[in-house]
A and B are shown apart, each in its own frame.
Chain A
Amino acid sequence: MTWRYEPAADLDQSLAERLRRFPREPDLTVYAVRSAAALLLRGWLRLFHRLRITGRENLPKEGSFVIVCNHTSHLDTLCVLAAMPLPKLHRVFPAAAQDYFFISAPRLAIAAIVVNALPFGRQKHIRQSLELCRSLLANPGNVLVLFPEGTRTSTGALGEFKPGIGSLVAGTDLPVVPCHLRGGFEAWPRGKWFPRPRKLHLRIGKPRSYAALPNDKESAKRISADLREAVAALGMD
């Protein structure tokens, strides 16, 4: 009698290596810690930052989708995660800078365990990173959170959107949900160690789809510009 065993792909790796790789193997302990951390963070955001979330009904109920948001501080990711239903938490993957979050142990623990981040190469391996995003979204039910500005704003103003998001969704029927967080820059600007108790408001816009556009450079630029406009418009309300 022969049984088919499927050992974990990261069986002989250390904890740090297991957290650094992507996709990560499912781990009940990590899921438990992430769920507990999510509850604490949601409580913190509500109490300390009076976080308000509007437009939750715009989030697609089924299938994979992409969320794009302005990047004002580290609070952005936490607020977007707080908007997602708790049971879905382990299938939401915010893209995080590989060169910033996946190097030192404390940041790695936060990125991989608490945030469930996807390591994104900003300077090198951009193509491979986009490929990783594509394969992630091919699995129905996965949610990718992107900050197309590529880095946190240093002035508070919305920066240009990089074309990567455009090339990811052009010619596909993947819904893209624009979001805008107000108050993030005032609460936790770059260079400060701890956030200040400022009010936060996350607005979730209606999903967009770019199935009709061909998958080329021109469309990528157009889509990025269109999404930037959509995010900026949410911020005007």
Chain B
Amino acid sequence: MTPQAALQSEIFRTYAWIVAGVLVAAGLALAVLRWILKKEVGSVWLTYRSWLIMAPLIFGSILGGRVVFIVVLCLLAGIGFKEFARATGLYRDWWLTGAVYIGIIAVGITCLVPQPQGEEPGNGWYGLFVALPVFAVALILLIPIARNRVQGQLQGVALAIVGFIYMGWMFGHLAFMANATHAYGYLLYVIFATEINDVAAFTCGRLFGRRPFRSNISPKKTWGGTLGALAVSLILPWLLRFSFPHFGAKQLLLTGLIVGIGGQLGDLVISVIKRDIGIKDMGSGIPGHGGVLDRIDSLIYVAPLFLHMAGYFYGLR
């Protein structure tokens, strides 16, 4: 991934056109609803406006090349973890939050450095990247011992481990994907399809959602929305097949399932955390979306599952 390669990549250019087209179409649809049909579109309008800023940022970081993308992803993971730490109260413990930040930096480094020896050659130290939770968990568990503390440590340590594994390492798989031979297709598809899956769940829920899906966790989610989003996600790999021309029918089906199910699971996991704490949003950084974590949550399941599926069938690099 380099700026030149991105500009020459048919896949990158096609996605840029698709996303621009979707944003223009959505903007026109909202404008018609708001000014011609005089409907109330307040919160959706805010969400849409934030997309107008986020979409160029995502394309810009991919256009910037492998290093830029990995650094941006680690920053996002760091911001996501910070929101989690502030929401749970873990942020008051500098040592534990510091250890998680070190873990996130380690995710970035293992994504950046080349494989030292053995296995498949190429960028990214895959073996260490996959083994990182061992070292991070060991470091986090060492902290109460180093500080000679007991009270409340199990809660702190457990929160830090969830924070690292979920927001740092699992989300970090998206950064590692930048090392794949088919990085543009994989990354752009995973990000685009997961966001479409979110939008589809919202739209289908509004249109045919009646029965609640997980009433205690996310009261607004319905079976209609969930199944509608899954259906859209199952069709999408076929429509955007140019993203991974080497995929067969089995891989396309798996891709659809991973995005359709994983996207919703990621969302629900963050909802469980929010409901348990008793807050509405993880932060207030993105108007109309909530915090960064509220935006990236769906990608957290999808990224590792897709990476390992693609790696299993074709090798990554």
| Chain B 168-209: CB-based contact to A (< 8 A → 1; otherwise 0) | 000000000000000000000000000000000000000000
Specify which of B86, B87, B92 lies most central, judged by the most chain A CB atoms within 10 Å of its CB.
B86
A212 in contact (CB, < 8 A): no
A6 in contact (CB, < 8 A): yes
In the assembly, what is the distance between CA of A11 and CA of B276, in Å? Answer: 15
Which residue of B has the minimal Cβ distance to A10? B86
- How many pairs, one residue from A and one from B, have CB atoms within 8 Å of each other in the complex? 44
A194 in contact (CB, < 8 A): no
Which A residues lie within 8 Å of B283 (CB)? Answer: 11
Which B residues lie within 8 Å of A25 (CB)? Answer: 86, 91
Interface residues of B, dominant DSSP: helix
> What band does the interface of chain A fall in when counting residues whose beta carbon is under 8 Å from B?
10 to 19
| Chain B 76-96: CB-based contact to A (< 8 A → 1; otherwise 0) | 000000100011110110100
Contact A26 B284 (CB under 8 A): no
In the assembly, what is the distance between CA of A29 and CA of B88, in Å? Answer: 18
In the assembly, what is the distance between CA of A29 and CA of B285, in Å? Answer: 15
Contact A26 B91 (CB under 8 A): yes
Measured CB to CB, the closest approach of chain A to B284, in angstroms, equals 6
Which B residues lie within 8 Å of A12 (CB)? Answer: 279-281, 284
| Chain A 1-24: CB-based contact to B (< 8 A → 1; otherwise 0) | 001111110011110000000000
A28 in contact (CB, < 8 A): yes
Which A residues lie within 8 Å of B97 (CB)? Answer: 28
Which B residues lie within 8 Å of A5 (CB)? Answer: 87-89, 276-278
Which A residues lie within 8 Å of B86 (CB)? Answer: 7-8, 11, 25
Measured CB to CB, the closest approach of chain A to B152, in angstroms, equals 8
Contact A8 B87 (CB under 8 A): yes
- Given A5-B277, A7-B89, A8-B87, A28 and B94 touching (CB < 8 A)? yes
Which A residues lie within 8 Å of B87 (CB)? Answer: 5, 7-8, 11
